[in-house]
Amino acid sequence: MNSFLLRQVARGVLPVAVLFAVYLLLRGHDAPGGGFVAGLVTSAAVILHALANVAPHKRRRRPRVLRSVWIGLLVAAGTGLVAVAAGKPFLTHSHFDIGSGHGALHLSTTLLFDVGVFLVVVGSTITALAAFAEEEPR
């Protein structure tokens, strides 16, 4: 796919899409979004970029994103284990408020769990897509 327009669009879309994904991830607990959707947005943008801007023969290099799958699984399971260490059931989430009132910053382990989901989705989606994008069809 060698198109000037696509190349430029893909190049521009990637950072915006990643930013948007982070936004979706952060707001997920209170508004539409979350780790799964954010992961899909990121994967779609990365794949678009790869298809448009990376020459097919270079795509053959094995993507290292599989690592993010493991890290994601560990992060998600780890947030659950934190609760166990505190004597609560597995995957019990804890919440903290920094400050008070309207401007309070709300933090919780649900976000960490969602980050785990995000990493797994990104890793496995890109791995699967890259398997088929690695070379030109015959």
Q: Is 14 in the site for another protein (CB under 8 A)?
A: no
Closest approach, Cβ 106 to another protein, in A, equals 7
Specify whether the CB–CB gap between 68 and 59 falls below 8 A.
no
Instruction: Report the b/e string of 93-104 with b at 16+ CB within 10 A.
Output: beeeeeeeeeee
Residue 44, helix vs strand vs coil: helix
Nearer to another protein by C-beta: 8 or 107? 107
**HSE value, Cβ hemisphere, 13 Å, CA-based, for 31:** 5
Per-residue binder mask for another protein (CB under 8 A), 25-64, x = binder: ---xxxxxxxxxx--xx-xx--xx--x----------x--
Minimal CA–CA distance to 119: which of 58, 91, 86, 78? 78
Binding positions for another protein, rule: CB under 8 A: 24, 28-37, 40-41, 43-44, 47-48, 51, 62, 66, 69-70, 72-73, 76-77, 80, 84, 87-91, 93, 95, 106, 108, 110, 113-114, 116-117, 120-121, 123-125, 127-129, 131-134, 137-138
